[in-house]
Protein backbone atom coordinates (compact mmCIF):
# COMPACT_ATOMS: atom_id res chain seq x y z
CA UNK A 1 0.00 0.00 0.00
CA UNK A 2 1.53 3.36 -0.97
CA UNK A 3 1.64 6.23 1.50
CA UNK A 4 -1.80 7.89 1.61
CA UNK A 5 -1.95 11.47 2.91
CA UNK A 6 -4.58 14.20 3.08
CA UNK A 7 -3.45 17.80 3.44
CA UNK A 8 -6.43 18.46 5.71
CA UNK A 9 -5.23 15.90 8.28
CA UNK A 10 -3.36 17.26 11.35
CA UNK A 11 -0.28 15.07 10.86
CA UNK A 12 0.15 15.80 7.16
CA UNK A 13 3.11 18.18 7.39
CA UNK A 14 5.28 15.87 9.49
CA UNK A 15 4.50 12.79 7.39
CA UNK A 16 5.02 14.61 4.08
CA UNK A 17 8.33 16.05 5.30
CA UNK A 18 9.53 12.56 6.20
CA UNK A 19 8.48 11.27 2.79
CA UNK A 20 10.25 14.09 0.92
CA UNK A 21 13.49 13.73 2.87
CA UNK A 22 13.86 9.96 3.01
CA UNK A 23 16.76 8.46 1.13
CA UNK A 24 16.09 6.21 -1.88
CA UNK A 25 19.61 5.89 -3.28
CA UNK A 26 21.61 2.72 -2.86
CA UNK A 27 23.07 2.54 0.62
CA UNK A 28 26.15 0.49 -0.27
CA UNK A 29 29.38 2.35 0.47
CA UNK A 30 31.54 1.67 -2.57
CA UNK A 31 33.94 4.60 -2.21
CA UNK A 32 37.00 2.60 -1.28
CA UNK A 33 36.42 -0.10 -3.90
CA UNK A 34 35.93 2.49 -6.61
CA UNK A 35 38.96 4.47 -5.50
CA UNK A 36 41.12 1.35 -5.75
CA UNK A 37 39.82 0.54 -9.25
CA UNK A 38 40.43 4.09 -10.48
CA UNK A 39 43.98 4.07 -9.12
CA UNK A 40 44.69 0.67 -10.64
CA UNK A 41 43.51 1.64 -14.12
CA UNK A 42 45.38 4.92 -13.89
CA UNK A 43 48.58 3.06 -12.95
CA UNK A 44 48.35 -0.05 -15.16
CA UNK A 45 46.20 1.15 -18.04
CA UNK A 46 45.25 -1.55 -20.54
CA UNK A 47 46.40 -4.40 -18.29
CA UNK A 48 44.03 -3.33 -15.51
CA UNK A 49 41.14 -2.88 -17.97
CA UNK A 50 41.64 -6.40 -19.27
CA UNK A 51 41.75 -7.83 -15.73
CA UNK A 52 38.50 -6.12 -14.69
CA UNK A 53 36.75 -7.05 -17.94
CA UNK A 54 37.64 -10.72 -17.44
CA UNK A 55 36.55 -10.56 -13.81
CA UNK A 56 33.31 -8.60 -14.04
CA UNK A 57 32.13 -9.14 -17.63
CA UNK A 58 33.52 -12.65 -18.20
CA UNK A 59 35.19 -11.58 -21.46
CA UNK A 60 38.53 -13.19 -22.25
CA UNK A 61 40.57 -11.05 -24.63
CA UNK A 62 44.30 -10.49 -24.99
CA UNK A 63 44.30 -6.85 -26.07
CA UNK A 64 42.07 -3.87 -25.25
CA UNK A 65 41.82 -3.14 -28.96
CA UNK A 66 39.78 -6.34 -29.25
CA UNK A 67 37.14 -4.68 -27.05
CA UNK A 68 36.46 -2.00 -29.63
CA UNK A 69 33.27 -2.51 -31.66
CA UNK A 70 34.07 -2.41 -35.37
CA UNK A 71 31.98 -1.47 -38.41
CA UNK A 72 31.21 -5.10 -39.18
CA UNK A 73 29.62 -5.54 -35.74
CA UNK A 74 27.47 -2.45 -36.33
CA UNK A 75 26.27 -3.87 -39.65
CA UNK A 76 25.44 -7.22 -38.02
CA UNK A 77 23.55 -5.45 -35.23
CA UNK A 78 21.42 -3.53 -37.73
CA UNK A 79 20.53 -6.76 -39.53
CA UNK A 80 19.19 -8.31 -36.31
CA UNK A 81 16.79 -5.42 -35.64
CA UNK A 82 13.36 -5.18 -37.19
CA UNK A 83 12.59 -2.41 -39.71
CA UNK A 84 9.97 -1.04 -37.27
CA UNK A 85 12.57 -0.76 -34.48
CA UNK A 86 15.05 1.00 -36.76
CA UNK A 87 12.37 3.35 -38.09
CA UNK A 88 11.35 4.22 -34.52
CA UNK A 89 14.96 4.96 -33.55
CA UNK A 90 15.46 7.14 -36.61
CA UNK A 91 12.23 9.04 -35.92
CA UNK A 92 13.33 9.60 -32.32
CA UNK A 93 16.79 10.71 -33.44
CA UNK A 94 15.32 13.16 -35.96
CA UNK A 95 13.08 14.76 -33.35
CA UNK A 96 15.78 14.87 -30.66
CA UNK A 97 18.23 16.43 -33.12
CA UNK A 98 15.74 19.06 -34.28
CA UNK A 99 14.85 20.10 -30.75
CA UNK A 100 18.47 20.36 -29.63
CA UNK A 101 19.52 22.30 -32.72
CA UNK A 102 17.13 25.01 -31.57
CA UNK A 103 19.06 25.18 -28.29
CA UNK A 104 22.32 26.27 -29.92
CA UNK A 105 23.38 29.53 -28.25
CA UNK A 106 24.34 32.68 -30.11
CA UNK A 107 27.50 34.67 -29.59
CA UNK A 108 26.94 37.74 -27.44
CA UNK A 109 28.78 40.95 -28.32
CA UNK A 110 28.02 44.42 -26.94
CA UNK A 111 29.59 47.86 -26.58
CA UNK A 112 28.75 50.12 -23.65
CA UNK A 113 28.74 53.89 -23.31
CA UNK A 114 32.49 54.00 -22.64
CA UNK A 115 33.20 52.08 -25.81
CA UNK A 116 34.18 48.87 -23.97
CA UNK A 117 33.41 45.83 -26.07
CA UNK A 118 32.42 42.69 -24.14
CA UNK A 119 30.90 39.41 -25.08
CA UNK A 120 30.62 35.65 -24.86
CA UNK A 121 31.82 33.10 -27.38
CA UNK A 122 30.54 29.52 -27.20
CA UNK A 123 32.65 26.54 -28.25
CA UNK A 124 32.10 22.79 -28.03
CA UNK A 125 33.83 20.44 -25.63
CA UNK A 126 36.42 18.53 -27.64
CA UNK A 127 35.83 14.91 -26.53
CA UNK A 128 32.92 13.38 -24.62
CA UNK A 129 32.58 9.95 -23.04
CA UNK A 130 29.11 8.35 -23.08
CA UNK A 131 28.53 5.65 -20.48
CA UNK A 132 25.74 3.21 -21.38
CA UNK A 133 24.59 0.45 -19.01
CA UNK A 134 25.14 -2.92 -20.67
CA UNK A 135 23.67 -6.34 -21.18
CA UNK A 136 20.45 -7.12 -23.02
CA UNK A 137 18.39 -4.69 -20.91
CA UNK A 138 20.27 -1.56 -22.00
CA UNK A 139 18.35 1.46 -23.31
CA UNK A 140 19.03 2.62 -26.89
CA UNK A 141 16.92 5.73 -26.26
CA UNK A 142 19.50 6.88 -23.70
CA UNK A 143 22.23 6.55 -26.32
CA UNK A 144 20.34 9.01 -28.54
CA UNK A 145 19.62 11.40 -25.67
CA UNK A 146 23.26 11.56 -24.61
CA UNK A 147 25.02 11.46 -27.97
CA UNK A 148 22.85 13.66 -30.19
CA UNK A 149 23.13 16.88 -28.13
CA UNK A 150 26.90 16.40 -28.03
CA UNK A 151 27.03 16.00 -31.79
CA UNK A 152 24.74 19.02 -32.30
CA UNK A 153 27.02 21.06 -30.03
CA UNK A 154 29.94 20.24 -32.31
CA UNK A 155 31.96 17.87 -30.11
CA UNK A 156 34.60 16.31 -32.33
CA UNK A 157 34.95 12.93 -30.62
CA UNK A 158 32.22 10.84 -29.00
CA UNK A 159 33.39 7.74 -27.16
CA UNK A 160 30.88 5.20 -25.87
CA UNK A 161 31.65 2.71 -23.11
CA UNK A 162 29.17 -0.15 -22.73
CA UNK A 163 29.75 -3.34 -20.72
CA UNK A 164 28.87 -6.57 -22.49
CA UNK A 165 28.57 -9.21 -19.75
CA UNK A 166 29.18 -12.62 -21.27
CA UNK A 167 29.52 -10.89 -24.62
CA UNK A 168 25.82 -9.92 -24.72
CA UNK A 169 24.58 -6.54 -25.88
CA UNK A 170 21.27 -5.19 -27.07
CA UNK A 171 21.84 -4.70 -30.83
CA UNK A 172 19.59 -1.63 -30.78
CA UNK A 173 22.18 0.07 -28.57
CA UNK A 174 24.75 -0.31 -31.34
CA UNK A 175 22.27 0.84 -33.98
CA UNK A 176 21.42 3.90 -31.87
CA UNK A 177 25.12 4.70 -31.52
CA UNK A 178 25.56 4.53 -35.28
CA UNK A 179 22.51 6.72 -35.90
CA UNK A 180 23.72 9.28 -33.35
CA UNK A 181 27.20 9.45 -34.86
CA UNK A 182 29.29 7.93 -32.06
CA UNK A 183 32.95 7.67 -33.13
CA UNK A 184 34.24 4.92 -30.85
CA UNK A 185 32.44 2.12 -29.00
CA UNK A 186 34.30 0.14 -26.33
CA UNK A 187 32.94 -2.96 -24.58
CA UNK A 188 34.01 -1.89 -21.11
CA UNK A 189 31.96 -0.97 -18.07
CA UNK A 190 31.92 -0.13 -14.39
CA UNK A 191 34.32 2.14 -12.53
CA UNK A 192 37.14 0.86 -14.75
CA UNK A 193 35.44 2.35 -17.82
CA UNK A 194 35.08 5.71 -16.10
CA UNK A 195 38.79 5.58 -15.20
CA UNK A 196 39.76 4.81 -18.79
CA UNK A 197 37.64 7.69 -20.09
CA UNK A 198 39.02 10.11 -17.51
CA UNK A 199 42.75 9.29 -17.64
CA UNK A 200 43.10 7.24 -20.79
CA UNK A 201 45.11 4.07 -21.30
CA UNK A 202 47.53 2.89 -23.96
CA UNK A 203 44.57 2.09 -26.25
CA UNK A 204 41.89 4.60 -25.22
CA UNK A 205 42.47 8.33 -25.37
CA UNK A 206 40.94 10.34 -22.50
CA UNK A 207 37.89 12.58 -22.87
CA UNK A 208 36.97 15.95 -21.38
CA UNK A 209 33.50 15.14 -20.02
CA UNK A 210 31.62 11.96 -19.08
CA UNK A 211 27.84 11.64 -19.27
CA UNK A 212 25.36 8.81 -18.86
CA UNK A 213 23.77 6.72 -16.08
CA UNK A 214 25.16 3.69 -14.30
CA UNK A 215 25.07 1.65 -11.11
CA UNK A 216 26.43 2.71 -7.71
CA UNK A 217 30.02 2.00 -8.80
CA UNK A 218 29.70 4.10 -11.94
CA UNK A 219 28.03 6.95 -10.04
CA UNK A 220 30.77 6.94 -7.39
CA UNK A 221 33.47 6.80 -10.06
CA UNK A 222 31.97 9.86 -11.74
CA UNK A 223 32.01 11.67 -8.39
CA UNK A 224 35.67 10.84 -7.90
CA UNK A 225 36.90 11.81 -11.38
CA UNK A 226 35.00 15.11 -11.38
CA UNK A 227 37.56 17.88 -11.66
CA UNK A 228 39.79 15.77 -13.84
CA UNK A 229 36.86 15.73 -16.30
CA UNK A 230 33.40 17.20 -16.28
CA UNK A 231 30.33 15.08 -15.56
CA UNK A 232 26.65 15.56 -16.28
CA UNK A 233 25.02 14.59 -12.98
CA UNK A 234 24.74 11.79 -10.43
CA UNK A 235 21.52 10.05 -11.41
CA UNK A 236 19.24 8.55 -8.79
CA UNK A 237 16.08 6.43 -9.09
CA UNK A 238 13.39 7.58 -11.50
CA UNK A 239 10.58 9.88 -10.30
CA UNK A 240 7.12 10.84 -11.56
CA UNK A 241 4.56 13.13 -9.98
CA UNK A 242 1.10 13.24 -11.58
CA UNK A 243 -1.27 16.08 -10.71
CA UNK A 244 -4.72 15.05 -11.92
CA UNK A 245 -8.30 16.19 -11.45
CA UNK A 246 -11.34 13.93 -11.27
CA UNK A 247 -12.19 14.48 -14.93
CA UNK A 248 -9.33 12.26 -16.10
CA UNK A 249 -9.23 8.57 -17.03
CA UNK A 250 -8.08 6.57 -13.96
CA UNK A 251 -6.66 3.87 -16.24
CA UNK A 252 -4.43 6.36 -18.04
CA UNK A 253 -3.12 7.80 -14.79
CA UNK A 254 -2.46 4.33 -13.37
CA UNK A 255 -0.58 3.34 -16.54
CA UNK A 256 1.58 6.47 -16.26
CA UNK A 257 2.45 5.74 -12.64
CA UNK A 258 3.40 2.16 -13.50
CA UNK A 259 5.51 3.29 -16.46
CA UNK A 260 7.97 4.74 -13.96
CA UNK A 261 7.48 2.18 -11.21
CA UNK A 262 8.65 -0.62 -13.50
CA UNK A 263 12.08 1.01 -13.85
CA UNK A 264 13.35 0.21 -10.38
CA UNK A 265 12.11 -0.89 -6.98
CA UNK A 266 13.38 2.47 -5.69
CA UNK A 267 11.51 4.54 -8.30
CA UNK A 268 9.12 7.09 -6.82
CA UNK A 269 5.61 7.69 -8.20
CA UNK A 270 3.20 10.20 -6.66
CA UNK A 271 -0.40 11.09 -7.43
CA UNK A 272 -1.75 14.48 -6.32
CA UNK A 273 -5.49 15.00 -6.72
CA UNK A 274 -8.36 16.90 -5.14
CA UNK A 275 -10.81 13.99 -5.31
CA UNK A 276 -10.33 11.01 -2.99
CA UNK A 277 -12.80 8.87 -4.91
CA UNK A 278 -10.77 9.43 -8.09
CA UNK A 279 -7.56 8.57 -6.20
CA UNK A 280 -9.08 5.26 -5.08
CA UNK A 281 -10.14 4.44 -8.65
CA UNK A 282 -6.57 5.10 -9.81
CA UNK A 283 -5.17 2.90 -7.03
CA UNK A 284 -7.56 0.10 -8.01
CA UNK A 285 -6.44 0.44 -11.64
CA UNK A 286 -2.81 0.20 -10.57
CA UNK A 287 -3.54 -3.13 -8.85
CA UNK A 288 -5.42 -4.42 -11.87
CA UNK A 289 -2.77 -3.39 -14.39
CA UNK A 290 0.05 -4.81 -12.28
CA UNK A 291 -1.28 -8.29 -13.09
CA UNK A 292 -0.56 -7.66 -16.77
CA UNK A 293 3.06 -6.51 -16.51
CA UNK A 294 6.17 -8.64 -17.11
CA UNK A 295 8.02 -6.48 -14.55
CA UNK A 296 5.15 -6.62 -12.09
CA UNK A 297 7.22 -7.46 -9.02
CA UNK A 298 9.53 -4.49 -9.54
CA UNK A 299 6.61 -2.14 -10.21
CA UNK A 300 4.61 -3.47 -7.25
CA UNK A 301 7.51 -3.02 -4.83
CA UNK A 302 8.13 0.51 -6.12
CA UNK A 303 4.45 1.50 -5.82
CA UNK A 304 3.96 -0.03 -2.39
CA UNK A 305 7.23 1.10 -0.80
CA UNK A 306 8.00 4.38 -2.58
CA UNK A 307 4.64 5.53 -3.96
CA UNK A 308 2.32 8.12 -2.46
CA UNK A 309 -1.18 9.50 -2.94
CA UNK A 310 -1.72 13.09 -1.78
CA UNK A 311 -5.31 14.29 -1.53
CA UNK A 312 -5.62 18.08 -1.42
CA UNK A 313 -8.55 20.43 -0.91
CA UNK A 314 -7.70 22.72 -3.84
CA UNK A 315 -5.32 21.74 -6.68
CA UNK A 316 -4.31 25.25 -7.74
CA UNK A 317 -3.86 26.49 -4.17
CA UNK A 318 -1.96 23.47 -2.81
CA UNK A 319 -0.42 21.31 -5.56
CA UNK A 320 2.30 23.72 -6.77
CA UNK A 321 3.91 23.97 -3.32
CA UNK A 322 3.84 20.18 -2.88
CA UNK A 323 5.38 19.68 -6.33
CA UNK A 324 8.12 22.21 -5.59
CA UNK A 325 9.04 20.40 -2.39
CA UNK A 326 9.27 17.10 -4.25
CA UNK A 327 11.14 18.76 -7.18
CA UNK A 328 10.50 15.68 -9.33
CA UNK A 329 12.35 14.42 -12.34
CA UNK A 330 9.08 14.14 -14.31
CA UNK A 331 5.83 16.00 -13.72
CA UNK A 332 2.53 15.38 -15.50
CA UNK A 333 -0.18 18.04 -15.19
CA UNK A 334 -3.31 16.20 -16.25
CA UNK A 335 -6.03 18.74 -15.48
CA UNK A 336 -8.60 20.83 -17.29
CA UNK A 337 -6.19 23.81 -17.19
CA UNK A 338 -2.60 22.54 -16.98
CA UNK A 339 -1.05 25.85 -18.10
CA UNK A 340 -2.33 27.75 -15.07
CA UNK A 341 -0.86 25.11 -12.76
CA UNK A 342 2.41 25.13 -14.70
CA UNK A 343 2.75 28.88 -14.21
CA UNK A 344 2.82 28.36 -10.43
CA UNK A 345 5.45 25.56 -10.40
CA UNK A 346 9.18 26.27 -10.13
CA UNK A 347 10.94 22.94 -9.56
CA UNK A 348 10.64 20.03 -12.00
CA UNK A 349 13.01 18.40 -14.47
CA UNK A 350 10.45 18.05 -17.28
CA UNK A 351 6.75 18.89 -17.38
CA UNK A 352 4.09 17.19 -19.51
CA UNK A 353 0.95 19.23 -20.13
CA UNK A 354 -2.45 17.64 -20.69
CA UNK A 355 -3.84 14.09 -20.83
CA UNK A 356 -2.17 13.04 -24.10
CA UNK A 357 1.28 14.33 -23.13
CA UNK A 358 2.27 11.05 -21.50
CA UNK A 359 5.72 11.08 -19.93
CA UNK A 360 6.59 8.04 -22.08
CA UNK A 361 6.40 10.24 -25.21
CA UNK A 362 9.15 12.31 -23.62
CA UNK A 363 11.19 9.19 -22.92
CA UNK A 364 11.43 8.39 -26.61
CA UNK A 365 10.13 10.68 -29.33
CA UNK A 366 9.07 14.00 -27.82
CA UNK A 367 12.31 15.81 -28.63
CA UNK A 368 13.42 17.34 -25.29
CA UNK A 369 16.04 15.35 -23.41
CA UNK A 370 15.05 12.57 -21.03
CA UNK A 371 18.28 12.78 -19.00
CA UNK A 372 16.89 14.76 -16.07
CA UNK A 373 17.77 15.76 -12.51
CA UNK A 374 16.61 13.33 -9.81
CA UNK A 375 16.65 13.19 -6.01
CA UNK A 376 15.19 16.71 -5.72
CA UNK A 377 18.12 18.24 -7.62
CA UNK A 378 15.61 19.89 -9.97
CA UNK A 379 15.70 22.66 -7.32
CA UNK A 380 19.02 23.75 -8.85
CA UNK A 381 19.75 21.58 -11.88
CA UNK A 382 18.36 21.10 -15.39
CA UNK A 383 18.03 18.27 -17.86
CA UNK A 384 20.78 17.47 -20.33
CA UNK A 385 21.01 19.77 -23.33
CA UNK A 386 23.33 21.27 -25.91
CA UNK A 387 24.73 23.72 -23.34
CA UNK A 388 26.12 20.79 -21.35
CA UNK A 389 28.46 20.01 -24.23
CA UNK A 390 29.64 23.57 -24.73
CA UNK A 391 31.58 26.12 -22.72
CA UNK A 392 31.53 29.90 -22.58
CA UNK A 393 34.54 32.10 -23.14
CA UNK A 394 34.12 35.78 -22.34
CA UNK A 395 36.12 38.48 -24.11
CA UNK A 396 36.82 42.15 -23.45
CA UNK A 397 38.28 44.98 -25.52
CA UNK A 398 39.03 48.28 -23.72
CA UNK A 399 39.83 51.40 -25.78
CA UNK A 400 42.13 54.12 -24.43
CA UNK A 401 39.58 56.61 -23.15
CA UNK A 402 37.59 53.89 -21.39
CA UNK A 403 40.79 52.54 -19.85
CA UNK A 404 41.63 55.95 -18.39
CA UNK A 405 38.20 56.12 -16.79
CA UNK A 406 38.14 52.54 -15.44
CA UNK A 407 41.75 51.98 -14.39
CA UNK A 408 41.75 54.21 -11.25
CA UNK A 409 38.81 52.30 -9.77
CA UNK A 410 40.45 48.97 -10.61
CA UNK A 411 43.69 50.07 -8.94
CA UNK A 412 41.84 51.31 -5.87
CA UNK A 413 40.03 47.99 -5.44
CA UNK A 414 43.24 46.01 -6.02
CA UNK A 415 45.10 47.93 -3.31
CA UNK A 416 42.13 47.57 -0.97
CA UNK A 417 42.52 43.82 -1.37
CA UNK A 418 46.27 43.99 -0.73
CA UNK A 419 47.15 43.00 -4.30
CA UNK A 420 49.75 45.60 -5.21
CA UNK A 421 50.91 43.85 -8.39
CA UNK A 422 47.34 43.95 -9.62
CA UNK A 423 47.19 47.71 -9.02
CA UNK A 424 50.56 48.32 -10.66
CA UNK A 425 49.45 46.45 -13.80
CA UNK A 426 46.94 49.21 -14.54
CA UNK A 427 48.86 52.08 -12.93
CA UNK A 428 51.86 51.51 -15.19
CA UNK A 429 49.59 51.95 -18.19
CA UNK A 430 48.46 55.25 -16.67
CA UNK A 431 52.03 56.31 -15.93
CA UNK A 432 51.39 56.28 -12.20
CA UNK A 433 53.37 53.22 -11.01
CA UNK A 434 54.08 53.21 -7.25
Residues in a beta bridge with 187? none
Annotated catalytic residue: which of 263, 330, 347, 370? 330
| 330 tagged catalytic | yes
d(CA 110, CA 166): 57
Q: Which helix (H) or strand (E) holds 119?
A: strand 117-124
CA of 421: how far to CAs of 397, 404, 415, 426, in Å?
Answer: 21, 18, 9, 9
Task: Tell me how crowded residue 417 is: count the other CB atoms within 10 A of its CB.
Answer: 10
Helices and strands (H, E) in the chain, number of each type = 17, 14
Residue 161: helix, strand or coil by DSSP?
Answer: strand
- Ramachandran class of 190: left when φ > 0, alpha when ψ lies in -120 to 50, beta otherwise: left
Cα Rg of the chain (Å, integer)? 26
Annotated catalytic residue: which of 220, 239, 262, 329? 329
d(CA 432, CA 434): 6
Instruction: Judge whether 156 and 126 are in contact, CB under 8 Å.
Output: yes
| 71 tagged catalytic | no
Task: Tell me how crowded residue 21 is: count the other CB atoms within 10 A of its CB.
Answer: 9
Q: Which of 324, 316, 320, 318 is nearest to 380 (CA)?
A: 324
Q: Which residues are annotated as catalytic?
A: 329-330
Amino acid sequence: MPLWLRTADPGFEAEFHTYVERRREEEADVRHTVSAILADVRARGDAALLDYTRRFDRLQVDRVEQLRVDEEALVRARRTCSPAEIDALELAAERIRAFHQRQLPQELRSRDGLGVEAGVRWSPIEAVGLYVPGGTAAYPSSVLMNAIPARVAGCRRLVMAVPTPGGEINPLVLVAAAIAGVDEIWRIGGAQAIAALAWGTESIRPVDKIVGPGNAYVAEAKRQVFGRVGIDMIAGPSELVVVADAGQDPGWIAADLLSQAEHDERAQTVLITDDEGFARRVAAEVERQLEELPRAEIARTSWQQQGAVLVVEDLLAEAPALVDRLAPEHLELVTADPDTLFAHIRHAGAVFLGPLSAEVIGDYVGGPNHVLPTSRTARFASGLGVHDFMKRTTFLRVPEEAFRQLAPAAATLARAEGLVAHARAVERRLGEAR
